[in-house]
């Protein structure tokens, strides 16, 4: 019987990070999946009740409390399984892992913003310089991962690798 509920959309790259962790740590059976429809211009009352920011994923715990933001949910779930942690618990390895997760999320944020600007805003109202700025963020992040972080990411499977893989899957 599931003890938690994940508010999700199968198309969300942020939800995908949580789903990868659930599968890899064999925790999927603990979570009931509640699919929600979401749009940046059309709020969803169920999502707003689970997360005041109106975003997914959101995770309702067995005690009824709510966690939101994929990074928070990932850290929580990483502490709930019996295997090796997917994020170091202290020291420079933890800070490096968190930094790489944040950069992968920044890459993903820029990609999502480009999608919104390109597909939701009318063509005559699009801001090309802003789109170029978001694309530049993506390119800088990719260059950093390739030049600086590729060795550490290829050494072991962790939250940074999950975050980057999901970001790359979205931009592909």
Q: CB–CB of 71/59 below 8 Å? A: no
Q: Is residue 19 part of a domain?
A: yes
At 143-161, the pLDDT tens digits run 999 998 887 777 889 999 9
- Domain boundary at 78, 108, 130, which? 78
Sheet harboring 66-68: ordered strands across?
A: 31-35, 4-8, 58-60, 66-68
Look at the chain and report how many structural domains it folds into. 2
Return the pLDDT at 114: 97
Q: What residues in the chain have per-residue pLDDT under 70? A: none
What domain range is 136 assigned to? 91-171
**What Å distances lie between residue 63 and 25, 35, 76, CA to CA?**
22, 21, 14
Are β-strands 31-35 and 58-60 bridged in parallel, bridged antiparallel, or unpaired? unpaired
Return the pLDDT at 11: 93
Return the pLDDT at 48: 85
Q: Is residue 84 part of a domain?
A: no
Return the pLDDT at 1: 81
At 76-95, the pLDDT tens digits run 999 999 999 999 999 999 99
Q: Are residue 158 and residue 103 in the same domain, yes or no?
A: yes
Q: Are residue 103 and residue 151 in the same domain, yes or no?
A: yes
Return the pLDDT at 42: 79
């Amino acid at each position: 019987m599931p003890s938690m509920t994940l508010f999700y959309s199968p198309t969300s790259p942020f939800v995908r990070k949580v789903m990868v962790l659930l599968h890899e740590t064999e925790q999927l059976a603990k979570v009931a999946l509640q699919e929600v429809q979401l749009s940046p211009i059309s709020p969803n009352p169920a999502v707003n009740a689970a997360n005041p920011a109106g975003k997914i994923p959101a995770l309702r715990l067995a005690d009824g409390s709510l966690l939101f933001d994929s990074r928070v949910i990932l850290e929580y779930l990483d502490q709930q399984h019996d295997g090796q942690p997917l994020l170091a618990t202290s020291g420079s390895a933890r800070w490096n892992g968190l930094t790489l997760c944040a950069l992968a999320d920044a890459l993903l944020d820029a990609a999502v913003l480009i999608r919104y600007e390109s597909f939701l805003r009318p063509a005559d109202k699009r801001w090309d310089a802003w789109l170029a700025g978001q694309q530049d963020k993506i390119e800088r992040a990719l260059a950093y991962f390739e030049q600086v972080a590729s060795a550490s990411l290829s050494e072991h499977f962790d939250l940074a690798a999950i975050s980057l893989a999901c970001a790359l899957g979205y931009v592909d």
